[in-house]
Amino acid sequence: MAKDFELIEHTADVGIMAYGADVKEAFVNTARGMFSLIVELESIREVEHRDIEVTAPDEESLLAAWLNELICLFDAENMLFSRFEIREFEDTSLRARAYGETVDSSRHKLKVGIKAATYHMLEVDRNDGGRVQVLFDV
Amino acid sequence: MSAPWKQVLNRVNDYCWEIPASYKEGMRVPGRIYASEAMLEHIWQDQVFQQVANVAFLPGIVPYSMAMPDVHWGYGFPIGGVAATRVSDGVVSPGGVGFDINCGVRLLRTSLTAEEVGPRIEKLITELYNNVPSGLGSRGRLRVSEKELDEVMVKGGAWAAENGYGDAEDVETTEDSGCIRGANPGKVSAKAKQRGIPQLGTLGSGNHFLEVERVSEIFDHETARVMGIDEIGQVLVLIHCGSRGLGHQVCTDYVALLGRVVQKYGISIPDRQLACAPIQSPEGKAYLEAMACAANYAWANRQCILHWVRESLIGVFSKSRREMGLEQVYDVAHNIAKIETHTVNGKRLDVCVHRKGATRAFPAGHPDVPEAYREIGQPVLIPGDMGRGSYIALGTEEAMRTTFGSTCHGAGRIQSRAAAKRSQRGADVARVLADKGITVKAGSMGGLAEEASEAYKDVDEVVDITHQAGISRRIVRAVPMGVVKG
């Protein structure tokens, strides 16, 4: 089976290319890929959840908005997530629930900080299921 | 076969190369890259030409889209990019400042020598590591309310000084006296404030650091003396950090907002990360007011950290601040947009100078250079990587004439973080540094490997080009003794 996501190298930053049966699943896999940059996904327990709602003018912006919302929850509330359920998914809006826990420095070895998801190289491709690409500022 | 870039670039002189406006349809002005011929090969491979060309699309840009010698592939703008746009009809682009608004560098001098500090360097680095919160997810020692945060965002460095972190002299020797006027906390989102409150007074992670260094070379003794630097071996402390999550969120919010209005203003951009709005539009003004808040927060942040650095030195050496001469040399921003007046084609013009990984470098006599340095020019602080060195340079008239008073900001990456980690392990990097006599304390070993010397251009080469090109004048070189990495 193909990978859910893979890393894209960039001189200063790092990106994720994610795949799915459809774009919605690719959005989920991008979020997993992003948190895998921050910490080992296996180390995140499902203790609590956050409900997320984002809107944007188009699909690409929606991808950036979705990831930036998660980055904000990590940065402001120290939340790490490993599982995501996108419950409603339109071209310009989504509602989701993210499962995880707050950082516990005794168990979580944080790797890299992510400042934001950028619009540079941002892509949402519906061909062949779903494939999306995003570059982060780290 | 001749190098591919030779078909694109026109040589202006040995250190400056032009990308003609015909390179890409939509460029309003040519691009100019400050680099040696030897550096161009790498710059070509790194997609920098495309990004310099893309920035030349911005409405109101005059007279070139520029790149400093430390330039490398960024997202949207190249890192090391300088772009000035007319205030009257040009645009402001949050991507031209970046996510870490007013990431910058502050330098503290001491009268201590390397012989005195050397035997206690481990203790000092440990003390700094303990006193200055650093690393991913770290929380500050300060507890500010939302109302106090508003004050921080309006007053900047002066807020910290008024609250017992440093003093008025520190504020005076800070770019813009540590405060961009016109900051409006009402234009900063609740999310940005939520990220900013717990992070005030933290170093952060990634490439941010505290470095204890010793002067290794003085190129102009008389001028160095004006900055309080007298001898080889004198110990300095360099602080590198920015506006933390608050700045990141301000940029995130405004790239999204401005991305929604580019069409309304009939602007065509080749990369969505270059989202922009007219400086005179409500959206453009709102961004500049929010950016000022983040910039001021960063200056307050570095001011607090400076205070803890002083406390750490006082603790380790049991001497007073005065006995050790712990005075600030200067503080520069390297991710910022500023409204400044420059001469363009012989006329005075108000422009918005975007410096994305570039440093202001104003000459002697400029009214924005603090009194203490009015006769020599504005100090420019250029950190290298952990293993090599850093420089103090000065702004010049040539920079004023050709680069809107701007120069490089560091060494510039040449290797991706993943590639750096593959080729070096954090533990090995620590050992190599230890062999050089450099003590390192890092929050994460992976993070350490990402910042290995090999991942960067040689800062000596970069600074040599800015010196030869005349856009800043090199005065002092220092080498690291100990580093705290976020």
Query: Whose CA is closest to A55, among A86, A93, A90, A27?
Result: A93
- The residue range of the domain holding B473 is 104-414+456-485
Nearest to A110 among B136, B249, B273 (CB): B136
Q: Return the structure tokens found at B40.
A: 């161009």
Interface subset of B 401-430, CB within 8 angstroms of A: 413-419
Is the Cβ–Cβ distance between B242 and B301 less than 8 Å? yes
Q: Is the pLDDT of residue A1 over 50?
A: no
| pLDDT for the residue numbered B429 | 85
| pLDDT for the residue numbered B426 | 80
Residue B309 maps to which CATH number?
3.90.1860.10
Contact A122 B418 (CB under 8 A): no
In a domain, B21, yes or no: no
Residue with tokens 């190369």: B17
Query: Whose CA is closest to B298, among B171, B157, B159?
Result: B157
* Full pLDDT tens readout for chain B, 486 residues: 577 888 899 999 999 999 999 999 999 999 999 999 999 988 888 789 999 999 999 999 999 999 999 999 888 999 999 999 999 999 999 999 999 999 999 999 999 999 999 999 999 999 999 999 998 877 888 989 999 999 999 999 999 999 999 999 999 999 999 999 999 999 999 999 999 999 999 999 888 999 999 999 999 999 999 999 999 999 999 999 999 999 999 999 999 999 999 999 999 999 999 999 999 999 999 999 999 999 999 999 999 999 999 999 999 999 999 999 999 999 999 999 999 999 999 999 999 999 999 999 999 999 999 999 999 999 999 999 887 899 999 999 999 999 999 999 998 888 887 788 888 888 888 888 888 889 999 877 777 888 888 888 899 999 999 999 999 999 999 999 999 988
Domain spanning A5-137: CATH superfamily: Archease domain (3.55.10.10)
Asked if the C-beta of A120 comes within 8 angstroms of chain B's C-beta atoms, the answer is yes
How many residues belong to chain A? 138
DSSP state of B69: E
Interface subset of A 8-67, CB within 8 angstroms of B: 9-14, 38, 56-57, 60-61, 64-65
B109: β partners? B236, B327
Q: What ipTM was estimated for this complex? A: 0.95
B326 Cα to chain A: minimum distance (Å): 32
Q: How far apart are CA B74 and CA A18, in angstroms?
A: 21
DSSP state of B183: -
What residue type is A119 in one-letter code?
A: Y
| B409: annotated active-site residue | yes
Average pLDDT, chain A: 94
Q: How far apart are CA A134 and CA A23, in angstroms?
A: 13
Q: How far apart are CA B312 and CA B321, in angstroms?
A: 11
In a domain, B128, yes or no: yes
Helix (H) or strand (E) holding B163: none
| pLDDT for the residue numbered B1 | 52
Contact A13 B72 (CB under 8 A): no
- Return the domain boundaries, chain A: 5-137
Phi, psi of B295 (to 5 degrees): -60, -45
DSSP per-residue string spanning B238-260: EEEE--HHHHHHHHHHHHHHHHH
> First and final CA of chain B: distance in angstroms?
45
Residues of A in contact with B252 (CB under 8 A): 68, 71-72, 116
Q: What is the domain count for chain B?
A: 1
